[in-house]
Amino acid sequence: MIFQALLITFAFFALAKTYRQYAHRKVSLYWSMVWGMLWMILIVVACIPETTDILAQYVGVEKGADLFVYSSIVILFYAIYRVIVRQEKIQRELTELVRQIAIHEAKKK
Amino acid sequence: MKIIAVIPAFNEENRIEAALLALAPHVTEMVVVDDGSNDRTVEMARKTPAHVLRHFVNRGQGAALQTGMDYAVHVLGADIVVHFDADGQMNPEEIQEMIAPILSGESDIVLGSRFLGSTVRMPFMRRVILKLGTWLTTVLSGIAVTDTHNGFRALSRKATEEIHISLDRMAHASEIIDLIMAKKLRYIEVPVTIRYTEESLRKGQGTLGAVTILKDFFKGRFFDGL
């Protein structure tokens, strides 16, 4: 019960924050909608946890909580892959930058 | 005919000056690329007639070579670029033999080989690892060279235009071999002497370094096209 209450309070807080950021034009309408939806789903799930089981059974997983853990792992793996690719790209760009500066400095002399 | 030596250097304050002075009579100009050394390498190199370029952050030998080649070809107008080491392991008198096949129009790129030539005091483990690396390159690139990780090379202007090193660290040696195949460059191996001294061994690639090179090489293939 306490966990549910905490979750709902947090979600409302986040929802308000998202709205405020949108109002101050810090995030686009698109992203404020995405985040807003996410927090609202969280509120629904916190109030009626059984809803996740329906979805879980629909995709062939027994419990909602399990579905959550499984999908989290998949998403995390993908996120790490993206980070590695990005990091590699930044490394190459850094090399290019260092190289160009070296040549530029030498030309000045 | 402008023959320009490109010398990547990282923390070579004790050896670079002597190496450059010995090299100078054998080439038209010298381009030193200091790869973010934290000693007096730049200062020592500036005592010689070499052009000294500086990577302000260490980016690895592959990156330093590419910087040097860009400068040698596009700024100084090199006809032939020679890759040379800053630590005095190579014999500058052999440059003549290295560039001969390019001058005669026989090859686009000449690779030095210590297994065709002679080595002075090469440790046993070093020999085993180099042989393994060379064998692996043969398997992966389908090109039979005897000494992949030899830093002594001569490139014609055409070869410098075709070869762009994208692997920053030590795996660039295998990358160059890959590019020779991909761009269908004419290559030849020439025996060279590599002199191992205690100091050069201490600083050089350890046995574990081979693992890093391998990792970088596969990473290079994986991230190709980024």
pLDDT, tens digit (0-9, with 9 covering 90-100), for A41-67? 889 888 888 888 888 888 888 888 888
| DSSP single-letter state for residue B47 | T
Quick one: tokens of A75? 């998403």
Whole-number pLDDT of residue A109: 73
Whether residue B226 and residue A88 make contact (CB cut-off 8 A), yes or no, is yes
Q: How far apart are CA B146 and CA B152, in angstroms?
A: 13
For A105, name the nearest residue in chain B, comparing CA atoms only. Answer: B53
* pLDDT computed for residue B199 by the predictor: 62
A106 touches chain B (CB under 8 A): yes
Residue with structure tokens 């293939």? B221
Q: Least CA distance to B65: which residue of chain A?
A: A99
Query: What is the residue type of B181?
Result: M
Q: Is the distance from CB of B36 to CB of B8 less than 8 angstroms? A: no
Task: Work out whether the CA dihedral B176, B118, B35, B16 comes out positive or negative.
Answer: negative
Angle at A4 between CA A3 and CA A7, to 5 degrees: 85
- Pairwise CA distance, residues A36 & A78, whole Å: 23
Token pair in block for residue B222? 């994986």
At residue B226, the pLDDT reads: 42
pLDDT tens over chain B, length 226 residues: 999 999 999 999 999 999 999 999 999 999 999 999 999 999 999 999 999 999 999 999 999 999 999 999 999 999 999 999 998 889 999 999 999 999 999 999 999 988 776 666 677 777 788 778 777 777 776 777 777 778 899 999 999 999 998 877 777 888 888 888 889 999 999 988 888 766 666 665 566 667 777 777 776 666 554 4
**C-beta separation of B60 from B85 below 8 A:** no
Confidence of residue A79 (pLDDT cuts 50, 70, 90): very high
Question: Residue B178, class by beta-carbon neighbours within 10 Å (0-12 exposed, 13-18 middle, 19+ buried)?
Answer: buried
- Dihedral (CA of B47, B53, B54, B60) sign: negative
Going by C-alpha positions, the residue among B69, B71, B66 that lies closest to residue B82 is B69
The three-class DSSP label of residue B31 is strand
Residue with tokens 């046995």: B207
- In 3-state terms, what secondary structure has residue B167? coil
pLDDT score of B225: 44
- List of residues 6+ apart from B140 with CB closer than 8 A: B174, B178, B217
Answer yes or no: is pLDDT of A76 > 60: yes
Q: Which of A84, A85, A99 to mutate to test the interface with B (most CBs of B within 10 A)?
A: A99
pLDDT at A18 over 80: yes
Separation between Cα atoms, residue B30 and residue A22, nearest integer Å: 59
Considering only the beta carbons, identify the residue of A89, A102, A107 that sits closest to B67.
A102
- Residue B166 contacts A, CB cutoff 8 Å: yes
Question: Which 8-state DSSP code applies to residue B40?
Answer: S
Spatial contact of B22 and B89, defined as CB atoms under 8 Å apart: no
Partner-chain residue, chosen from B53, B223, B226, that has the shortest CB–CB distance to A102: B53
Any idea what the Cα angle at residue B201 is, between residues B199 and B202, rounded to 5°?
A: 65
Q: B195 phi and psi, to 5 degrees?
A: -100, 115
Q: A74 near A61, Cβ under 8 Å?
A: no
pTM of the predicted structure, to 2 decimals:
0.76
Give residues with Cβ within 8 angstroms of B84, minimum separation 6.
Answer: B5, B6, B7, B23, B90, B92, B95, B151, B152
For residue B166, give the DSSP letter.
-
Residue A6 has pLDDT above 60, yes or no: yes
Choose the closest CB to B75 out of A85, A98, A107: A107
